[in-house]
Amino acid sequence: MLHSDGSGIAPLQLSKSVLSSMEKYGSGYVTYPAMKHFSTRFDADDFLETVADRRNPGPRHGLSLYLRMPGCGAGFDCQACRGGSGRYRSRTDLYLGYLKREIDMQAALFSDMDAVEQLYVGAAASTCLCTGQSNDLMQHLRHSFNLAAGPGREYAIRIGACAASTAHVHALHVQGFNRLSLSAQDFSRHPADGIVHDGKRTQFSARAAELVEAAQAAGFRSVSVDFIYGHPCQDLMSVARNLSIIIAAGPDRVMLHGYMPPARTSRAGQPSCCAQLPGTESRLEMFHRCVRQLNAAGYAYIGMHHFTKPGDDLAVAQQQGRLYRNLQGFSIHPETDAIGCGVSAIAAVGNTYSQNTTQLNSYYAKIDAGMLPIGRGMHLTTDDLLRRFIIERLACNFELSIGVLEIAYPIVFKEYFAAELGMLRPMEADGLLRIAPDRITVHPRGRLLIHVICGVFDRHRTASPDQKIHPQRSLG
C-alpha cells in the first residue's frame, strides 16, 4: 500500500464540501452497533454466561483492559484545577477503592485465561490521578492480572496538560506505561466570563508541547495529542499558532477534534459560551487549516480524525494491512476480549458488548452488593458481526476485499448488500471510492469521509433527511 513517493502517505485532496461533511457527520465508530442500541435487558448474568463460553479451549490473542477514570469537571477535579484540595483528592481515592474491587471481580473471571496485552487508563476528559494514585493502581493490576511484559504490549494512559508535570510523565513510564495520550483541551476558566481566553489556551498548548518532549525523553513508545479547534473566542490565527506549537514538539500522533460546548446555562449577567463560538464557516476554515498544517508537517492521515508520523506503529500497520480497531481506537493488536472497569466503562467479550452503569451512586451500590456493575449491553447477531467486520476493514485499510468476506461469511456480497452498493454509487461517481467486482477501494479524496462511507453499512442507523444528502454536495 505504499504510494509513488515510497512514503506510504496518501496526499489528502481537500475541498470545503468534503471538510464540511467530515465535521457534520462526526467521528467514527467506538462500537458497532452504536452504544445507543444497547439494552438494559442485558445484565450481569448475560455477561457471566458469555465469559463461561469464552473459557472453552480455542485460539486467543490476549486481553484488553480499559479502566474508566474520573476526569476534570466531573466532581473529581485534578490538583492543578483546585490547588490540590484534599476534598477532591478524597473523592478520587474513594472511586479508586471501588474500582479496585471491580478489578478483583473481573480478575477472578479472566486472570487465568490470557495476559493483558492492552491497557488503557483514561476518561472522556483528562485523567486526574497523582503519581501515588497511578502507582498504587498499577501495583494492584499486577497483583490481580497477568500483565504482559514484552515490547509489543500497549499500555496507555490519558492525562491533561493542566494536570501533569514532567516528573509525573517520567514516573508514569517507570510504572509501566509505554504510550501517552495528552489532552491539549484545558478546563480552566477566565474568572470574569467563564471562557478560556486565547492567551491561556496558548499557554496550555505550550505546556502540552513540553510534556510531549518529556515523554519522548522518558522513552514512551508513542505520544499522542488531542488537539481541539473551534473554542469560544478562538480565531483562525490562534488555532494555527497553537497547532504549530504542538507540531514543533513532534508528537507521534495527533487527534483532531471539533470543540463541543457543554450543556450548561450561563450565569445571569455573563455571556453565553455558545454565543461566542465560531460560526460554521469559521470552524470549517479552522479545520481546513489544521489538516493542511498536519499534512505539510509530514503527518499521514490514517482515518477517523487520526494523523500519525509515517514511521509510527499505526501508519506502518496500515501500510502492511494489519491495522485493527477496537474500543480504544486504532491498534496493532488483533481482536481481543476487552474488559471494562469503572463508571460507564465498555466491554467487548465474545459476541457481546456491555456497559457499566453511568451513575456513580449506582456503581458504588452494585459493587457494595457484590455485583458486577453492568447497566446495559447487547448480543451481536451474525449480521452485526458481518457489518462490524466491513466497517473495521474499510476504516483500517481504506479497502474491503469482497472475496475474503465471502469466504468468511456465507453470502453473495452484491446480493446481500445491493441497497448499500446503490448508496455507494453516487460516491463513486464523485471520485470518493471505486467499486470493483472483487473489492471496494477508498480513494485519497474520500478518506476524510471514511466514517460516512462506513455508515452506509450501518443497518441500525436511522435514516434522516441530512443523512440522505450526498456528503460531497452538503454545501451545494
On whether both 67 and 202 belong to a single domain, the answer is yes
256's enclosing H/E stretch is: strand 253-258
Return the closest-CA partner of residue 68 out of 107, 104, 121, 139. Answer: 121
On whether both 28 and 69 belong to a single domain, the answer is no
The more confidently predicted of residues 461 and 208 is 208
pLDDT tier at 194, thresholds 50, 70, 90: very low
Three cell numbers, residue 147:
500483565
Of 338, 365, 399, the one marking the end of a domain is 338
- The total of other beta-carbon atoms located within 10 Å of residue 101's CB is 15
Q: Give domain status of residue 350, yes or no.
A: no
On whether both 225 and 288 belong to a single domain, the answer is yes
> What's the confidence (pLDDT) of residue 13?
53
On whether both 224 and 322 belong to a single domain, the answer is yes
CB 320 within 8 A of CB 82: no
Relative to beta strand 222-229, strand 324-326 is unpaired
Evaluate the omega torsion of the peptide bond into residue 33 and state whether it is cis, within 30 degrees of 0. yes
Residue entry with cell 476558566:
189
Return the closest-CA partner of residue 258 out of 278, 237, 233. Answer: 278
On whether both 145 and 217 belong to a single domain, the answer is yes
pLDDT tier at 23, thresholds 50, 70, 90: low
Q: Give domain status of residue 363, yes or no.
A: no
**Report for 221-225, 261-265, 465-469: range of highest mean pLDDT:** 221-225
> Directed axis angle between helix 236-249 and helix 280-296, to 10°?
30
Q: Give domain status of residue 370, yes or no.
A: no
> What's the confidence (pLDDT) of residue 461?
75
Q: Distance between CA atoms of 160 and 73, rounded to whole angstroms? A: 12
Of 338, 370, 401, the one marking the end of a domain is 338
Q: How would DSSP label each residue in 288-328?
A: HHHHHHHHHTTPEEEETTEEE-TTSHHHHHHHTT--EEETT
Residue entry with cell 489528502:
12
On whether both 305 and 436 belong to a single domain, the answer is no
% of the chain at pLDDT higher than 90:
57
> What's the confidence (pLDDT) of residue 278?
86
On whether both 5 and 148 belong to a single domain, the answer is no
- Give Cα separations from 27 to 8, 260, 385 (angstroms): 23, 12, 21
User: What is the DSSP-derived secondary structure letter of residue 449?
Assistant: G
pLDDT tier at 319, thresholds 50, 70, 90: very high
For residue 401, the enclosing domain spans 1-32+382-476
96's enclosing H/E stretch is: helix 86-110
116's enclosing H/E stretch is: strand 116-122
Residue entry with cell 480513494:
443
On whether both 90 and 200 belong to a single domain, the answer is yes
> What's the confidence (pLDDT) of residue 21?
55
Q: Give domain status of residue 367, yes or no.
A: no
What tens digit of pLDDT does each residue of 393-403 get?
A: 999 999 999 99
Handedness of CA 278, 281, 282, 287 (dihedral sign): positive
On whether both 327 and 446 belong to a single domain, the answer is no
Is the pLDDT at 5 greater than 50, yes or no?
no
On whether both 280 and 225 belong to a single domain, the answer is yes
What tens digit of pLDDT does each residue of 44-74 get?
A: 999 999 999 887 766 566 899 999 987 655 4
Is the pLDDT at 163 greater than 90, yes or no?
no
Q: Give domain status of residue 374, yes or no.
A: no
**Report for 32-36, 58-62, 439-443: range of highest mean pLDDT:** 439-443
Q: Give domain status of residue 401, yes or no.
A: yes
Return the closest-CA partner of residue 422 out of 396, 451, 388, 457. Answer: 457
Q: Give domain status of residue 182, yes or no.
A: yes
- Strand partners for 434: 441
Three cell numbers, residue 398:
481504506
CB 414 within 8 A of CB 406: no
On whether both 298 and 208 belong to a single domain, the answer is yes
Of 318, 338, 358, the one marking the end of a domain is 338
pTM: 0.85
Q: Which residues contact 301 (CB under 8 A, 6 or more apart)?
A: 10, 12, 291, 294, 295, 307, 447, 448
CB 146 within 8 A of CB 111: yes
Question: How many separate domains does the chain show?
Answer: 2
Average pLDDT over residues 107-119: 89
CATH number of the domain at 130, please: 3.20.20
CATH number of the domain at 12, please: 1.10.10.920
Q: Give domain status of residue 365, yes or no.
A: no
On whether both 268 and 317 belong to a single domain, the answer is yes
At residue 362, φ and ψ (nearest 5 deg) are: -65, -40
